[in-house]
Amino acid sequence: MPLERINPEGMYKPNKNIYSQVVKSTGATTLHIAGTVPFDEDANVVGIDDMKMQVLKILDNIRISLAAGGALPSDVVRINVYALNVDDYVTNGAPEVIAFFGDNKPTSTTVQVPRLVHPDWVVEIEATAVLD
């Protein structure tokens, strides 16, 4: 198995069980997915001022990127989330991320930022996947 998800004994449990503390990878191919944003195919912003809609579009775009590299969401070992409002993300975006990854939780970092490149984005997510 190229990926092993570990929550070590003697360490605090992941917040709301939404991520893994450690992902051990032994796969041979790594995909580095750029910060993914809530654009549709024509670069129109999806879900202006709507965290849930933007996260859903981002996850759809990440799925497309993963497929282009021959990967699945279960191959993702790490995500970094950049949100304008972490409380909004935790309430409205994180449940969609949890559903997207299911039992294959990647490691995760979430950071509140003062702004993103496009004025209508409220969140951006980057991902790393490892394939066997």
CB of 23 within 8 A of CB of 107? yes
Q: Cα 19 vs. chain centroid, distance in angstroms?
A: 10
Say what the pLDDT of residue 125 is.
98
- Sheet containing 29-36: which strands, arranged edge to edge? 29-36, 123-131, 76-83, 107-112
**What was the pLDDT predicted at 19?**
86
The predicted structure's pLDDT at residue 132: 79
Alpha helices in the chain (DSSP H): 51-68, 86-88, 94-101
Question: What pLDDT score was predicted for residue 1?
Answer: 59
Q: Which parts of the chain sit beneath pLDDT 70? A: 1
pLDDT tens digit sequence for 82-100 = 999 999 999 999 999 999 9
- Alpha-carbon separation of residue 25 from 51, 69, 77, 108, 131 (angstroms): 31, 17, 8, 15, 9
pLDDT at 26: 83
Residue 113 has a CB neighbour count (10 Å cut-off) of 13
pLDDT confidence of residue 15: 78
pLDDT of residue 2: 72
The per-residue pLDDT for 11 is 85
Q: Three-class SS of residue 119?
A: coil
- Give, in order, the Cα–Cα distances in Å from 93 to each of 6, 16, 21, 38, 119: 24, 14, 20, 12, 18
- What CATH architecture does domain 3-131 belong to? 2-Layer Sandwich (3.30)
